[in-house]
């Protein structure tokens, strides 16, 4: 199967960021991102106003600095940084909770990152919310991808900024680690609550090969595409053998 052309921001994977992408079509800058932050009154859980600032000398305690100052190191011309900033706008409670939990755990760890912070980083970089009923959740947990994606009575909202960057040059095996939410719920509040009360390790986040979602990876017959077992193995209790989103420090 040939690769499709590189997606523009018009692809539906970017729908959660749509209001700010539309306003930034002429280009993003720190001043524009900070205008958006003021409009949304973005804050850390310590109460500090979020400001997007030019990168400074490396800080080994990035998350603590962010928690105490509200400063998010951002290069607006770097897609990874830009998506991180835009996700702050779309999921402010979740991003603030991720930061607060990192800041809480770092002093406890003695310099060695534990499973909780691994989980937070994986979700921050490669997370998504699957919005659907209990049947949808069961299909995901069992890895029944064809049954799941051929019945699209659910949706996927992506908030992992590394995955959003990957989607500009997509491949079939792009995979998110997901939290589940029921239709009609506040997704931002749901993710923030789950991270604080339920998530303990990366194993608590099931994988979903998101390019199986109807219309997200164009070309070819959907049933044939989902039959590609390199990406959509239906082995109970396991996810697809897709490329993992790398762990990254800071944003």
Contacts of 181 (CB under 8 A, 6+ apart): 129, 130, 131, 187, 190, 191
Average pLDDT rounded to a whole number, residues 145-162: 91
Predicted confidence at residue 221, as pLDDT, reads: 64
Predicted confidence at residue 219, as pLDDT, reads: 65
pLDDT, tens digit, 9 for 90 and up, residues 209-240: 998 898 888 765 677 777 777 777 764 444 44
What is the pLDDT of the chain when averaged over all its residues?
Answer: 87
Cβ proximity of 163 and 210 under 8 Å? yes
More confident residue, 236 or 187: 187
Predicted confidence at residue 3, as pLDDT, reads: 42
More confident residue, 199 or 7: 199
Average pLDDT rounded to a whole number, residues 168-192: 94
Per-residue three-class SS string for the chain = CCCCCCCCCCCHHHHHHHHHHHHCCCCCCHHHHHHHHHHHCCECCCCCECEEECCCCCCCCHHHHHHHHCEEECCCCCHHHHHHHHHHHHCHHHHHHHHHHHHHHHHHHCCCCCHHHHHHHHHHHHEEEEECCHHHHHHHHHCCHHHHHCCCCCEEEECCHHHHHHCCCCCCCCEEEEEEECCCCCHHHHHHHHHHHCCCCHHHCCEEEHHHCCCCCCCCCHHHHHCCCCCCCCCCCCCCCCCCCCCCCCC
In which residue are the tokens 């069961």 written?
Answer: 138
Highest mean pLDDT: which range of 6-10, 132-136, 150-154 = 132-136
Supply the pTM of this predicted model: 0.87
Predicted confidence at residue 90, as pLDDT, reads: 98
Predicted confidence at residue 137, as pLDDT, reads: 95
Q: Is the pLDDT of residue 50 over 90?
A: yes
37: confidence class by pLDDT, cuts 50, 70, 90:
very high
More confident residue, 125 or 149: 125
Predicted confidence at residue 49, as pLDDT, reads: 98
């Amino acid at each position: 199967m040939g690769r499709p052309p590189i997606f523009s921001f018009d692809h539906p994977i970017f729908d959660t960021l749509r209001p700010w992408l539309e306003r930034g079509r002429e280009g993003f800058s720190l001043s524009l991102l900070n205008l958006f932050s003021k409009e949304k009154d973005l804050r850390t859980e310590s109460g500090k106003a979020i400001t997007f600032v030019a990168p400074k000398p490396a800080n080994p305690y990035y998350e603590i600095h962010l928690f105490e100052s509200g400063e998010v190191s951002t290069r607006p011309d770097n897609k990874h940084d830009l998506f991180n900033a835009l996700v702050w706008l779309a999921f402010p409670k979740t991003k603030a909770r991720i930061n607060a939990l990192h800041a809480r755990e770092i002093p406890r760890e003695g310099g060695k990152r534990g499973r909780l912070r691994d989980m937070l980083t994986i979700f921050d970089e490669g997370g998504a919310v699957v919005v659907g009923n209990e049947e949808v959740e069961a299909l995901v947990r069992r890895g029944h991808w064809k049954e799941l994606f051929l019945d699209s009575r659910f949706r996927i909202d992506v908030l992992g900024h590394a995955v959003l960057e990957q989607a500009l040059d997509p491949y079939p095996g792009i995979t998110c680690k997901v939290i589940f939410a029921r239709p009609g719920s506040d997704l931002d509040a749901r993710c923030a609550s789950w991270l604080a009360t339920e998530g303990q390790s990366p194993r608590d986040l099931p994988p979903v090969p998101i390019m199986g979602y109807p219309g997200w990876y164009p070309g070819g017959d959907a049933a044939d595409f989902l039959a590609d077992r390199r990406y959509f193995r239906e082995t109970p209790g396991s996810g697809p053998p897709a490329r993992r989103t790398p762990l990254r420090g800071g944003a």
